């Protein structure tokens, strides 16, 4: 009898969780839509920028590359390997399919 009650309890709990999950899926889809509209709305798009001072205040490094690229641009970082001179080489590849990529070099000094 006890196990049967446990089964009924679990079924009710799983039904609740199903409703919760459906609600989360809906809220997530709504929010993604809202963010997409914000990114595409000319009146807010025009103000969606940061300045080089913002970047310098946010990061400690001395050399900063700001890479502006259209949504969907692919960034690829191969696992670093030893170069010919025994020094590790680190690489970043950027590939856009819809618009040119712009890079701003920010040298703190």
Partner 1 sequence: SSLTPSTAYTYKFTGSPSKELSDINQMIRQGGV
Partner 2 sequence: AQECQDLEAERQRRLERIKHKRSQLQELILQQIAFKNLVQRNRQAEQQNKRPPPANTVIHLPFIIVNTSKRTVIDCSISNDKFEYLFNFDNMFEIHDDVEVLKRMGMAFGLELGRCSVEQLKIAKTLVPQALQPYVTEMAQGAINQLI
HSE (side-chain half, CA atoms, 13 Å) at 29: 6
Cα 65 versus chain centre, distance: 18
Distance separating alpha carbons of residues 76 and 105, to the nearest angstrom? 19
Binding site for partner 2 (CB under 8 A): 3, 6-7, 10-11, 13-14, 17-18, 20-21, 24-25, 27-28, 30-32, 34-35, 38-39, 44, 47-55, 57-71, 75, 77, 87-97, 99-104, 107-109
Strand duo 102-107 + 63-68: pairing: antiparallel
Helix (H, G, I), strand (E, B) or coil at 86: coil
Closest CB 107 distance from partner 1, rounded Å: 21
**Is residue 61 a contact point for partner 1 (CB under 8 A)?**
no
Residue 64, both tokens = 């900063």
Judge contact between 105 and 68, C-beta under 8 A: no
**Cβ closer to partner 1: 46 or 84?**
84
The residue from 79, 87, 105, 107 that contacts partner 1 (CB under 8 A) is: 79
Q: Which does 52 bind (CB under 5 to 8 A by kind): partner 1, partner 2, none?
A: partner 2
Return residues touching partner 1 (CB under 8 A): 39, 69-81, 83-84, 88-91, 93
């Amino acid at each position: 009898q006890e196990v049967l009650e446990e089964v009924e309890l679990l079924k009710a709990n799983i039904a609740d969780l199903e409703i919760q999950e459906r609600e989360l899926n809906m809220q997530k889809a709504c929010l993604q839509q809202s963010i997409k509209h914000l990114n595409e709305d000319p009146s807010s798009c025009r103000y969606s920028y940061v300045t080089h001072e913002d970047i310098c205040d946010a990061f400690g490094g001395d050399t900063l590359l700001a890479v502006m690229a259209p949504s969907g641009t692919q960034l690829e970082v191969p696992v670093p390997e030893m170069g010919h001179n025994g020094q590790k080489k680190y690489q970043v590849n950027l590939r856009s399919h819809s618009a040119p990529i712009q890079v701003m070099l920010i040298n703190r000094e």
